[in-house]
Amino acid sequence: MTFPAAKLERLYVASPIRRYCHQPFITRWFKRALPKGFVPDHILELGCGTGAGLLALQKKFPRAILTGVEIDKKMARIASRRFKYASLKGDVMNASITEDLFPPNSFDLAVSYGCLHHIPNWEEALKSLVANLSIGGCLAVEEYYKPLLEHPLFSLVGSHPPQRFTHNELVTAIEAAGLTLLKQKNMFNLCGHIVAQKQG
């Protein structure tokens, strides 16, 4: 079960700043970090929130079928409405990624915009994402790390489970799950971006 975000964090997740600035910027970084010529047909977003990330992904990969997974019922409903309004191809599911929702090798690209640190069993969620990837598929992760999450000021923004991790610990877990690191960006061990690929 995912820890509930505090009110301030929920407001930011649903804000125009995240929708029009933050996630499009991260999505551009992800696309540049992916292998040259990589064009996914099926994309999975973990913790899709109200759907802003799915919209950003659709703009970068217009031919892809998108699937969002969101454990919060209210956010999943908003994302579903946004999905229909924007005529996106795909679906939003109100569920946990660890529920074995999809057959193995269902997606070419799995994306997480700062979601893993909300999940107590984040390593299991990571393994589920990898299991859902096809051979040659890629994982793109944006994350916030232990030093930032444990800062007293950050506790005012949101509540998070105690199973927090550093950039290096996340990289180690991604490689242990069977992925090959393609590109990483670690910003003072406060937050970072990682793209990795599932090899045959």
CATH of residue 78: 3.40.50.150
Question: Nearest-CA neighbor of 153 among 9, 4, 3, 17?
Answer: 9
Angle between helix 23-33 and helix 52-60 axes, rounded to 10 deg: 40
* Sequence-ordered list of residues with C-beta below 8 angstroms from that of 35, at least 6 positions apart, any chain: 138, 182, 197
pLDDT-derived band at 153, boundaries 50, 70, 90: confident
- What is the chain's mean pLDDT, rounded? 89
Structure tokens at 179: 């992925």
Q: Which of 36-40, 87-91, 140-144 has the lowest mean pLDDT?
A: 87-91
Q: Strand, helix or coil at 25? A: helix
Tell me if 73 is assigned to some domain: yes
Task: Answer whether 79's CB lies under 8 Å from 47's CB.
Answer: no
**Domain around 88:** 7-30+40-198
Tell me if 69 is assigned to some domain: yes
The pTM score is: 0.90
Tell me if 1 is assigned to some domain: no
Tell me if 118 is assigned to some domain: yes
Tell me if 2 is assigned to some domain: no
pLDDT at 27 over 70: yes
Pairing, β 42-46 against β 107-113: parallel
Q: Strand, helix or coil at 146? A: helix
Which strand (E) or helix (H) includes residue 30?
helix 23-33
Q: Which residue carries 């929708």 as its tokens?
A: 19
Report phi then psi at 130, rounded to 5.
-65, -40
Tell me if 117 is assigned to some domain: yes
159-185 per-position pLDDT tens digit: 678 889 999 999 999 999 999 999 999
Tell me if 35 is assigned to some domain: no
Give the model's pLDDT for residue 5.
46
Tell me if 22 is assigned to some domain: yes
Total number of domains in the chain: 1
What is the Cα–Cα distance from 79 to 96, expressed in whole angstroms? 15
